[in-house]
Structure 1
Amino acid sequence: MYTLLIVDDEPIIADGLYEVFQTVEDLELDIYKAYSGDEAYELMKKTRIDIVLTDIRMPGMNGLQLMEKIHRQWPKCRVIFLTGYNEFDYIYTAIQYEGVSYILKTEGYERVIGAVRNAVLEIEKSLRLDALLQEAEEQAGTAKELLRGNFLNGVIKGRFYKNEINQKQFDELGIKLNACDRVVMLVGRLDDLPKGLPYSEITRRIYNVSLIAGEFLSSAVKYAYFTDENSYMIWLIQPGENTWQECLIFVKGNIEFIQRSCKESFGTIVSFALDDGPADWIELPDRFNTLKMVLSYRFGHDTAVLLTGRGIIKEDLRDTQEKSVEKLSLNRMKFEMLAETLEYGTEEDFFALMEELTRNLRTVRSMHNIVALEQYVSIALVVLSYINRWNILGKVAFRIGIHKLMRIDEHESWDDAVNYLYRLGSILFDIQRQEREKRAQDVVGFIQKHINDNIHIQDELTLIRLADLVHFNPSYLSRLFKQVTGMNISDYISDIRVKKAKQMLGNPDVKINTVAEALGYGTAANFTRFFKKMTNMTPQEYRDFVIGRHKDKA
């Protein structure tokens, strides 16, 4: 949808062009008109204008002066001048500007419509931004490091499915690892940082650690390095020319040198936790969470920790839980993703995540198992938070017993509890669909009422004005209206005008000029042109037809 502004100090020309463009069906235009350069400029300060069709000679602000203001306010706006034979001196000045063209007033409506159509094509071509994309391509190397870090953070936070972690992604992001091979994880953390240390200094120290680690590791292993939002340093490592055993021995042997070098070079104490073996990419979220726990698993007063193997912490936890519980996923990121799928209304993704999160929960025997309890409550809190945020408790409670959500004792087994969550999830998505449809119907109903109430005020019927009323983007409102009603807003406005015109024309005491004014047309001629376009009859012909029909019935 593009905005067209018609400017001419002769109302009959401005109104005529306005009505002509209202009937052009292949151009999606939101059309405005102004009777002076000053009026046009005031409108431009409030509304984005894409195309201006303007007279070149006008009292006060002329077309050239208006063009200069247009290019300051809306640089991408296309300007089409309507000129006479004796105005070529003006035109010579005008065409020095980019995006400016002209047509003679004598060339007729079809030529004018063609000029506007060409302007639309130019705008659409410019939106491809070829030059900008080429420049961005040249700068992609700088951005690639950021993209690489974002992607790898997504991997260790469990944001991707197995098929999304592939060699094509790695090659595009410059990750020098094999997506089909396993990987071993090394996690580092700065320790004993002074309180109040500026973020820039923390970042500098992390960068220095990465340089030193690279110096020691790069000769024998392949790795990808990145940091997460909590300043953990992560290395994902694969063997170079050596075996996995040789790779692990090499990394383990060099970590102590990295720690000592960091302390002696710039006084930074770094703790490391190295995984006890390679893992599949899809296992990395659980490995990362465990290694972070390992880094917090201190011995005595030592600050520079070097721990290798998750077994240290696993041994303490092993005897406290059932074997099936070890398979439960308590990855925080998974619960955040579950909340996002519920918020965004992506039902298929929601239940895919639910299956992943609850598959092993169903097999836990004891209802008193605290790890299983945490798993269930974490999911239940996602659901409860959504219900509270959208204030839909009454609608949910009408369809399912909501008291069971936070009461484990209301369920006979974990399998029963999981089935309850599934039923509740289905109800939430059903309510979502109903609410979306109702909101769409309410918005469209409001717009339809506004159009009916203001059919005589042209300024109240522009797409931008209608979009402002409901706080929508104009293009989005246009799509939503058509989705709900099956017709464009402009077609709906025309339909209402025709119905109202037919109603008024059925009364022989109402003058055609009065009908034109009541429908927001400046002149009877403009109204006649519109009415004939829509009905294949002039207003008078329609009136004669209706009156004649009544006489025949009498």
Structure 2
Amino acid sequence: MFRLLVVDDEKIIADGLYEVLKNLPNLELDVYKAYSGEEAVRLFDRTRFDIVLTDIRMPGINGLQLLDKIRDKWPTCKVIFLTGHNEFSYIYSAIQYDGVSYLLKTEGYEKVIQVVEQSVKEIEIELRNESLLKQAQEQLYTTREMMQNDYVKGILNEQLNIREINQKQLDELGIPLRAEESVLILLGRVNSFQNKSMYSYRTSQLYGIKLIARQYISAHAVVVETVNDKSDLIWLIQPLPGHAAEDGWGQVLTYIKGNLELIQLACRESVGEVLSFVLDDSPVSWEHAADRFSILQMLMNYRIGQGSGMLLLDKQLIRQEMRQAEKMGAKKPSFRHSRLELLRDQLENGQREEFEKTLQECAVTFAAVDSMHYTPAMEVYYAIGLVFLTYMNRWNLVDTVAAKVGMHKLMQPGEHESWQEAFGYLIQVGELLFSLQSQEEERRATAVILIIQKHILEHLHDPDEISLVRLGELVYFNPSYLSRLFKQVTEINLSEYITSARMNKAKQLLGNPDIKIQEVAELVGYGTATNFTRSFRKSLNMTPQEYRSLVLSR
């Protein structure tokens, strides 16, 4: 989904373009409007825009000044100027920029739609740029890159002493970060790797993803990236040198949040992989980076809905539920047996089929053992039971599980007649945990959607309060992920829900003859009666006045 902003100081023009562009059936656009350059700049500080359609002559910040702001905040944004016949020389210098075009105001809506469609096609082509893939295949990791990876992973895994984190070490390794400043942590996971286990394949794909991410992030920040043992991508980020700390971090956070969705789209188009991201909501000192990273790992596993392609931008969403886990620490017990380690990760990551397969392998290993006192089998049984118990304690599931299966058997293999029965019991517990996990994901998703629906119904009169950006801020979600989640849960688009809610309230208000049509339009969030009438006719095949007459006649 691409984000488009209409900017014009004449409200009737801005409203008309807004209504036309947001209802294009062949383009999935998230459309916003601003009545001044100043209002547009404030929106740029909140979120990324992919296309800006703006008048060139406006009081205050005019179109050319707005172009400078756009190039500073979102350099890849396409800009379309609306101009009069006598203004071409005025914008001649502006259209020398890449991604800038113009339209005459007299050309009509069809021409506007045509130029917007062309801009969307250009963005899609850029996202599919195969030159990045070619670079990924031609370049190999250098020794310095390997040392950088080991150093960063050593910091995040608490394998390095705090004294080893200094500017001399960073400079010697070629890491462009500053030891005296905090860092922002971004965690990424390739969801589509679950069924692609070839090491060479993963390595090639991860390298391509890192190149793509660096292209988007490095324009406004200093960054170093690494990959951990689970093939998760990790970025440590700082503002560019010379930026004031407070302003620098604010700009970096806004820029990173805005570009994560583009990185997802570029990776999907160029390398064919689906990524989820968790971005920390504040910088952290090097000393506490490992603790913060552990929390981000837990947040990555805290899926809502299906979780694929997730963008989680703020810990506030689940801070209450995570408080106990953060207090106790996010460290997990480690097991020597590789399959037990794998089991734990598969349970945490929601990989049900892979988990069941691994657990079956453990069961088969000891199926033929006669003695219930066979130590290796006992060790594996206890280890799996501990994996389950740790997971249940972390997510407060002990009482729920105890009500469905005998918890006393979990750490008592002697309660079973055979190892076949014992591992069958563990399989039963595992199936229950995944069922509870699925129910909990659905509950979280439903809770988020209920918040959104309630807010929409209470703020139909205020378009700013029901914009996708505002709704995303309300539940700390990336706007596009929220849109996909809403469709996943309700089976209708968010824009369709808003339109339906507006029409339902409008029909209710039209039943009262004392309320004027213009007042109804304002109460359901349309700036003018003209825009309201256009949308009402499109939805019900009649004008508001015709509907009112019909209702009153009955």
Offset, 1:331: 5.0
Residue number in structure 2 paired with 1:462: 467
Offset, 1:161: 12
Residue 131 of structure 1 aligns to which amino acid in structure 2?
Answer: S
Note the 1:475-490 alignment, pairs <5 A.
475-490=480-495
1:393–1:86 distance in 2 versus 1, CA, 3 Å? same
Does residue 530 of the first structure (1) align with residue 550 of the second (2)? no
Instruction: Tell me, yes or no, if the aligned pair for 2:36 and 2:58 is still in contact at 8 Å.
Output: yes
1:145–1:36 distance in 2 versus 1, CA, 3 Å? closer
Residue number in structure 2 paired with 1:420: 425
CA–CA distance in structure 2, aligned partners of residues 69 and 541 of structure 1: 46
Residue number in structure 2 paired with 1:281: none
Residue 343 of structure 1 aligns to which amino acid in structure 2?
Answer: E
1:169–1:519 distance in 2 versus 1, CA, 3 Å? closer
1:68–1:136 distance in 2 versus 1, CA, 3 Å? same
Offset, 1:369: 2.6
1:47-71 deviations in Å (ceiling 9; x for gaps)? 1111110000111211011001101
Corresponding residue SS for 2:54: strand
1:17–1:74 distance in 2 versus 1, CA, 3 Å? same
Note the 1:59-98 alignment, pairs <5 A.
59-98=59-98
Residue number in structure 2 paired with 1:373: 378
Offset, 1:84: 0.4
CA–CA distance in structure 1, aligned partners of residues 109 and 195 of structure 2: 60
1:132-173 deviations in Å (ceiling 9; x for gaps)? 333333314649997xx99xxxxxxxxx9999679x979999
Instruction: Tell me, yes or no, if the aligned pair for 1:2 and 1:28 is still in contact at 8 Å.
Output: yes
Residue number in structure 1 paired with 2:437: 432
Corresponding residue SS for 1:108: helix
Offset, 1:129: 3.1
Corresponding residue SS for 1:359: helix
Instruction: Tell me, yes or no, if the aligned pair for 2:57 and 2:63 is still in contact at 8 Å.
Output: yes
Note the 1:101-500 alignment, pairs <5 A.
101-140=101-140, 142=142, 331-500=336-505
Instruction: Tell me, yes or no, if the aligned pair for 2:136 and 2:204 is still in contact at 8 Å.
Output: no
Residue number in structure 2 paired with 1:520: 525
| Bigger mean CA deviation after superposition, 468-477 or 1-10 | 468-477
1:494–1:374 distance in 2 versus 1, CA, 3 Å? same
CA–CA distance in structure 2, aligned partners of residues 370 and 88 of structure 1: 85
1:171–1:10 distance in 2 versus 1, CA, 3 Å? closer
Residue 101 of structure 1 aligns to which amino acid in structure 2?
Answer: S
Offset, 1:518: 0.3
1:22-66 deviations in Å (ceiling 9; x for gaps)? 322222222221111122112211211111100001112110110
Instruction: Tell me, yes or no, if the aligned pair for 1:23 and 1:533 is still in contact at 8 Å.
Output: no
CA–CA distance in structure 1, aligned partners of residues 202 and 112 of structure 2: 53
Instruction: Tell me, yes or no, if the aligned pair for 2:468 and 2:479 is still in contact at 8 Å.
Output: yes
Residue 116 of structure 1 aligns to which amino acid in structure 2?
Answer: V
Offset, 1:335: 1.0
Residue 474 of structure 1 aligns to which amino acid in structure 2?
Answer: P
Residue number in structure 2 paired with 1:252: none
1:20–1:362 distance in 2 versus 1, CA, 3 Å? same
CA–CA distance in structure 1, aligned partners of residues 60 and 535 of structure 2: 32
| Bigger mean CA deviation after superposition, 363-372 or 351-360 | 363-372
CA–CA distance in structure 1, aligned partners of residues 54 and 143 of structure 2: 44
TM-score normalised by L of structure 2: 0.65
1:165–1:76 distance in 2 versus 1, CA, 3 Å? closer
1:402–1:171 distance in 2 versus 1, CA, 3 Å? closer
Corresponding residue SS for 1:33: strand
Offset, 1:473: 2.0
1:167-216 deviations in Å (ceiling 9; x for gaps)? x979999xxxxxxxxxxxxxxxxxxxxxxxxxxxxxxxxxxxxxxxxxxx
Instruction: Tell me, yes or no, if the aligned pair for 2:137 and 2:204 is still in contact at 8 Å.
Output: no
CA–CA distance in structure 2, aligned partners of residues 45 and 82 of structure 1: 23
1:436–1:16 distance in 2 versus 1, CA, 3 Å? same
Instruction: Tell me, yes or no, if the aligned pair for 1:528 and 1:538 is still in contact at 8 Å.
Output: yes
Instruction: Tell me, yes or no, if the aligned pair for 1:64 and 1:90 is still in contact at 8 Å.
Output: no
CA–CA distance in structure 2, aligned partners of residues 162 and 77 of structure 1: 35
Counting aligned pairs with the same residue, the percent is: 55
Offset, 1:492: 0.5
Corresponding residue SS for 1:95: helix
Offset, 1:482: 1.0
1:312-364 deviations in Å (ceiling 9; x for gaps)? xxxxxxxxxxxxxxxxxx85221111011111222211111012122122222
Residue number in structure 2 paired with 1:273: none
Corresponding residue SS for 1:521: coil
Corresponding residue SS for 1:437: helix
Residue 350 of structure 2 aligns to which amino acid in structure 1?
Answer: G
Residue number in structure 1 paired with 2:21: 21
Corresponding residue SS for 2:46: coil
CA–CA distance in structure 1, aligned partners of residues 442 and 38 of structure 2: 43
Give ranges in structure 2 of 5+ residues lacking alignment. 151-192, 206-228, 231-334
- The RMSD of aligned alpha carbons is 2.9
| Bigger mean CA deviation after superposition, 459-468 or 124-133 | 124-133
Residue number in structure 2 paired with 1:12: 12
1:446–1:172 distance in 2 versus 1, CA, 3 Å? closer
| Bigger mean CA deviation after superposition, 63-72 or 107-116 | 107-116
Residue 114 of structure 2 aligns to which amino acid in structure 1?
Answer: G
Instruction: Tell me, yes or no, if the aligned pair for 1:23 and 1:530 is still in contact at 8 Å.
Output: no
1:350-381 deviations in Å (ceiling 9; x for gaps)? 11101212212222222223222111111111
1:406–1:5 distance in 2 versus 1, CA, 3 Å? same
1:169–1:462 distance in 2 versus 1, CA, 3 Å? closer
1:385-411 deviations in Å (ceiling 9; x for gaps)? 111111111221111111110122322
TM-score normalised by L of structure 1: 0.65
1:332–1:93 distance in 2 versus 1, CA, 3 Å? same
Residue 453 of structure 1 aligns to which amino acid in structure 2?
Answer: E
Residue 46 of structure 1 aligns to which amino acid in structure 2?
Answer: R
Residue 27 of structure 2 aligns to which amino acid in structure 1?
Answer: L
Offset, 1:7: 0.7
Residue 364 of structure 1 aligns to which amino acid in structure 2?
Answer: V
Does residue 541 of the first structure (1) align with residue 546 of the second (2)? yes
Instruction: Tell me, yes or no, if the aligned pair for 2:3 and 2:51 is still in contact at 8 Å.
Output: yes
Residue 57 of structure 2 aligns to which amino acid in structure 1?
Answer: R
Residue 361 of structure 2 aligns to which amino acid in structure 1?
Answer: E
CA–CA distance in structure 2, aligned partners of residues 172 and 76 of structure 1: 26
Corresponding residue SS for 2:480: helix
Offset, 1:384: 1.0
